[in-house]
Amino acid sequence: METEKYDVVIIGAGPIGLTCGIEAQKAGLSYVIIEKGCMVNSIYHYPSNMTFFSTSDKLEIGDVPFISHQPKPNRQEALEYYRRVCSSWKLHVRLYEKVTKINPNDHGHQIITEKTTYQAKSLVLALGFYDRPFLLNIPGESLPKVKHYYDEPHPYFGQHIVVVGAANSAVDVALETWRKGAFVTMVIRESEIRQSVKYWSRPDIINRIADGSIKAYFNATLKEITQDEVKIQTLDGPITLKNDFVLAMTGYQPPFEFMESIGITFNDDEYRTPVYNEETMESNVPNLYLAGVVCGGLKTNKWFIENSRVHAALIIGHLKDKLQ
């Protein structure tokens, strides 16, 4: 199989990966965007009824207007928008092509996928983290009734569910499933609903907890899951509850092992943030750049579409100077 050669290979076809492709195209660089799943794969796997925190203008890329019915667009509108961006720019995207290995060499980087081999002078990792949930690591977590992803509320009608977490995802899940007829209990490690929860959702969940519509155990942890029950450690001691489903909205993490395998190093901090030059986004590995949420390590709420779009221009500007 003949190796395909490019100035830059971009791994990840999320909004920031697409933005990197647009900037490379504008700069006259040869490029390809490789994605293991579908277009904007992370957004596709968001809950069906999800509404973005950002307004539509802050999600725009490539000078393509994002028109939504409400100031804050929903998942379906975002999927439509980013498909339109890709088509408008005629971006070179390879979907459903998983990268299996990356080998730095004298000419840049060799990228081996399930389908072919690429040689790139430079490499951009615009990786997401949505497919790597934090596990509870408790007995019963492997049961089919335990979900680390949430799509829609309908399957939980009339069911006793436990929602683990206190951030946006957990709050959205608790409210949606309760409004569709589920019996909802939240298990929360913290002493309150997080301050960072969307401003229109936080008062709602606090009021539902206060009026008893949704039961919440604060400063509590889930200890064991069985076919019909869950065991929770609370401040008042252990309790056992009837349970049909556990929705563990415990957050997600970057692919650290993959990043380490290609030589990326990390800062000695609580978030394991990768080492990179903030002016160019180049990592400690020469000609390997980081873009988007992956730059935050475990601090997955640091970088969003709206504040990491600038990474693309920094990266491609630096690459263009190198290649001249």
Which structure tokens are listed for 277?
Answer: 């030059």
Alpha-carbon separation of residue 24 from 10, 102, 118, 122, 157 (angstroms):
10, 21, 17, 11, 48
How many H helices and E strands in the chain? Answer: 8, 15
Contact 127, 255 (CB under 8 A): yes
Would you list the DSSP string of 191-218? SS--TTS-TTTHHHHHHHHHTTSSEEES
Task: Note down pLDDT in tens along the chain; length 324 residues.
Answer: 689 999 999 999 999 999 999 999 999 999 999 999 999 999 998 888 888 989 999 999 999 999 999 989 999 999 999 999 999 999 999 999 999 999 999 899 999 999 999 999 999 999 987 778 889 999 999 999 999 999 999 999 999 999 999 998 999 999 999 999 999 999 999 999 999 898 899 999 999 999 999 999 999 999 999 999 999 999 999 999 999 999 999 988 888 989 999 999 999 988 899 999 999 999 999 999 999 999 998 887 788 899 999 999 999 999 988 876
The confidence score (pLDDT) of residue 133 equals 86
Q: Are 220 and 187 in contact (CB under 8 A)?
A: yes
What whole-number distance in Å separates Cα of residue 164 and Cα of residue 220? Answer: 10
Please check whether the two domains, 4-132+252-323 and 146-248, share a CATH topology: yes
Question: How far apart, in whole angstroms, are the C-alpha atoms of residue 36 and residue 240?
Answer: 41
pLDDT value of residue 260: 93
* Neighbour tally for 205: CB within 10 Å: 23
CB 115 within 8 A of CB 2: no
CA distance 67 to 264: 38
Q: Where does the chain have alpha helices with state H? A: 15-26, 41-44, 75-89, 168-179, 202-210, 256-261, 305-308, 310-323
Token readout for 177 is 């499933």
Q: Residue 294: how many CB atoms within 10 A of its CB?
A: 26
Q: Output the pLDDT for position 1.
A: 67
- Tell which CATH classification among 3.50.50.60, 2.40.50.100, 3.40.50.300, 3.20.20.140 matches the domain 4-132+252-323: 3.50.50.60
Task: List the chain domain ranges.
Answer: 4-132+252-323, 146-248
CATH homologous superfamily, domain 146-248 = FAD/NAD(P)-binding domain (3.50.50.60)
| Burial letters 99-135, b for 16+ CB under 10 A, else e | beebeeeeebbbbebeeeebbbbbbbbbbbbbbbbee
Task: Tally the residues of the chain.
Answer: 324
Q: Under 8 Å CB-to-CB from 249, ≥6 apart: which residues?
A: 148, 150, 163, 164, 165, 167, 169, 170, 173
Task: Give 9's contacts (C-beta < 8 A, 6+ positions apart).
Answer: 31, 32, 34, 109, 111, 118, 120, 122, 123, 124
Q: What is the pLDDT of residue 74?
A: 94
CB contact set of 106 (below 8 Å; sequence gap of 6+): none
